[in-house]
Amino acid sequence: MEIDHESKTISDKITCLGELEHVLYHARKSASVKLEDEELEIFFQTVARMALDFRRKYMKKHFPDCPDELWCLGKAVETARQRIYEADEGDTEDLNDIDAIWSTVWGKITGKDLSDCSSCKDDKKGVK
């Protein structure tokens, strides 16, 4: 079975950016607590650099028209969204609020409606 890469949604690609920022965060955090173990510190710093470089390349590849003034805002709001979802303890209002911010920013970057379940609707269109 061949994967139809065209059917992958914009939302999934944006989520990848947040996941890569998460890898970067954890690798740097791990490096900072492994100062007594030079080999591990180097390992974590290397992984951090790889994640940073890949995130930048991935973002440029999939969002080449992202304006300079929205580049950092886009990755920051995705990272914030991811963290809000991880920290959630059942506060739907927080989730709705961060989703509204996220869809406003990424809607501006992509020129697409990313509110509500637009990515789910796009995904459903791919079912034959």
Hunting for tokens 């739907």 — which residue is that?
92
- Tell me which residue of 106, 104, 84 sits closest to 95, measured CA to CA: 84
C-alpha 78/C-alpha 106 separation (Å) is 9
99 in Cβ contact with 85 (< 8 Å): no
> What is this structure's pTM?
0.80
Specify whether the CB–CB gap between 16 and 58 falls below 8 A.
Answer: yes
| 3-state SS string for the chain | CCCCHHHCCHHHHHHHHHHHHHHHHHHHHHHHHCCCCHHHHHHHHHHHHHHHHHHHHHHHHHCCCCCHHHHHHHHHHHHHHHHHHHHCCCCHHHHHHHHHHHHHHHHHHHCCCCCCCHHHHHHHHCCC
Q: Quick one: pLDDT at residue 9?
A: 86
In whole angstroms, give the CA distance from residue 59 to residue 48. 16
Q: What is the pLDDT of residues 5-57, one digit of tens each?
A: 554 689 899 999 999 999 999 999 999 997 788 999 999 999 999 999 999 99
* CA distance linking residue 91 with residue 116, whole number of Å: 17
Residue range 43-71, pLDDT digits in tens:
999 999 999 999 999 999 999 999 999 99
Instruction: Decide which of 119 and 36 is more confident.
Output: 36
**Domain ranges (residues) in the chain:** 9-118
